[in-house]
Amino acid sequence: MSYSQDACATFSNMLGTLDHLAGKAEQAALGDDILAAKLAEDMFPLETQFRIAINQVILALVRTCGIEMPLDETPYGSLGEVRERLGALRKLVEDAGQRGWIAVESEVDFTLPNAMRFVMSAGDYLRDWTLPNFYFHTAMAYALLRRDGLQIGKADFLPHMMRYARAPES
């Protein structure tokens, strides 16, 4: 598999996780106020955890796949809106897998808002920057929802693994 196929598969799986978590929160009637929940005062709230995870995927597609689209900068107002955005992005990721991506060795050069600059290959960018940040914000969303009473466990973080489940051998 190519680096782009690996990235798209991972994005699809974990965007599905975020949608699953938001859906369970809706079903549990946690209410949209849950989007303001924080783990610590100096950390982003749940809404921003969802938005940053989504924006990591958008940035990756812009930088490596040539898709032109703006980041989601407006805060989401409801779990339903989060789910709508996740669904649209999952479709975009699916379509991105059919596009021409830059070569794995191609240079990706980006600067963070704090003026810290990074230059690395496209493969290194996805492996060392995008995916760790994407997983971090996905895990923070999971932790916030669990801490605030949503009945979830490890299977809810990796629901895509169920396609590999088999009955135990006897």
Residue 49's domain is classified under what CATH number?
A: 1.20.120.450
Residue 148 lies in a domain: yes
Number of domains in the chain: 1
Residue 151 lies in a domain: yes
Joined together, the tokens standing for residue 47 give 């809404």
Q: How many CA atoms lie within 13 A of 158 on its CB side?
A: 7
What is the per-residue pLDDT across 43-82, written as a single tens digit (0 to 9) for each?
999 999 999 999 999 999 999 998 999 999 999 999 999 9
> Which residue, 92, 129, 77, 100, is CA-closest to 4?
100
Residue 61 lies in a domain: yes
What is the per-residue pLDDT across 135-146, written as a single tens digit (0 to 9) for each?
999 999 999 999
Tell me the pTM.
0.94
- Which amino acid does the sequence have at 121? S
What is the per-residue pLDDT across 145-165, written as a single tens digit (0 to 9) for each?
999 999 999 999 999 999 999
Residue 166 lies in a domain: no
Neighbour tally for 85: CB within 10 Å: 19
Secondary structure element (H or E) that encloses residue 3, with its range: helix 3-27
**Which residues are CB-neighbours of 36 under 8 A, at least 6 positions away?**
45, 46, 47
Please check whether residue 99 is in contact with residue 62, taking contact to mean a CB–CB distance below 8 angstroms. no
Residue 168 lies in a domain: no
For residue 42, what are the domain limits? 3-160
